[in-house]
Structure 1
């Protein structure tokens, strides 16, 4: 018969990391983690229900958003674990804590889909910008992740939003020299 060790039979393991997160850093990274998970869900909801002109392009670009959000949420969660934070990506947590606007459950026209996903992208980027300075003050490595998130999400928002823009009349207006 094989015997197994119970946790009380083993020696205590003690790691001595050079850095451990504060509660404030944990809360900030948890918020961006939740918003990225919700961005993935919002993107899929719209992807499944978009209809209308430019359907195929809109449908495909939503998959780009979903892929980016999934990758970034995983990167943030793994960073959290590396600095001894337990990420919480459960559905109930995401539903309760997300700062993204809700999207419809029924079919959505492509033009409205563009506006909805752009709003979700900007809401997520807004979270990253809001928490950035506090994160950077405590952990520049985590802030570097936020930079990557911001760069891609704001790029996607600009590209997708351009579908509905009217040259030199939409707001915000471009800055000219």
Structure 2
């Protein structure tokens, strides 16, 4: 009997040790599948945020024309908003037990926002392209939000909700900036 009690205690201790090790390797109660799926979705969002950030800064640096000051300042603000998203996204992935982006090459494999390497882009085309890219980013974040909902990850979902609002605001500003006056001057 003493042998079976010792054996039972050893099994419990081994089980507790495995659970503790799993907790260290996997710091969330959502599970490995959730971590993998949410991390994958958020890394795709992060790749698009970086791609859009760089495109926004590219256009900020290269905008010209009669609306230079307004566009230059607006795009600088938009770039700041995008860059501010990057660390919280990456840290959320890490909190879920995942790994995140490691290089420009990794970003290029995951991004759905296309680069614009043209030597010259008309300011109106810059604004229109960024508007569409922000809408595309919103779509990608909604997909990630759906994945969070599937696994009841309210923390990531609530962050995404804030970022969707910010991204929709950028798209709205870009859209309104691109509108042409009608013949009455309005």
2:178 is the counterpart of 1:155: no
CA distance in 2, matches of 1:84, 1:23: 8
Query: Larger Rg: 1 or 2?
Result: 2
Instruction: Report the alpha carbon displacement of residue 167 of structure 1 after superposing the two structures with TM.
Output: 6.9
CA distance in 2, matches of 1:89, 1:64: 26
Instruction: Report the alpha carbon displacement of residue 94 of structure 1 after superposing the two structures with TM.
Output: 1.2
Partner residue of 2:157? 143
Instruction: Report the alpha carbon displacement of residue 15 of structure 1 after superposing the two structures with TM.
Output: 6.5
Partner residue of 1:65? 78
Q: CA 1:45/1:89 → structure 2, altered by over 3 Å: closer, same or farther? A: farther
Partner residue of 2:121? 108
CA distance in 2, matches of 1:132, 1:45: 29
Q: CA 1:86/1:112 → structure 2, altered by over 3 Å: closer, same or farther? A: same
* Higher share in helix: 2
Q: CA 1:93/1:71 → structure 2, altered by over 3 Å: closer, same or farther? A: same
CA distance in 2, matches of 1:14, 1:137: 26
Answer whether contact 1:34 1:97 (CA < 8 A) is retained: yes
With the length of structure 1 as denominator, give the TM-score of the two structures.
Answer: 0.80
Count of paired positions: 157
Answer whether contact 1:36 1:69 (CA < 8 A) is retained: yes
Tell me the alpha carbon deviations over residues 112-165 of structure 1, each in whole angstroms, 9 at most, x when there is no partner: 111111122111111101222112221111011110110001001101210112
With the length of structure 2 as denominator, give the TM-score of the two structures.
Answer: 0.77
Alignment equivalent of 1:38, drawn from 26, 48, 51: 51
Could you say what secondary structure the match of 1:108 adopts?
A: coil
Alignment equivalent of 2:141, drawn from 128, 131, 146: 128
Answer whether contact 1:32 1:124 (CA < 8 A) is retained: yes
Could you say what secondary structure the match of 1:102 adopts?
A: coil
Answer whether contact 2:138 2:168 (CA < 8 A) is retained: yes
CA distance in 2, matches of 1:153, 1:94: 19
2:39 is the counterpart of 1:26: yes
Q: Which runs of 5+ in 2 are unaligned?
A: 1-19
Q: Which runs of 5+ in 1 are unaligned?
A: 1-12, 169-177
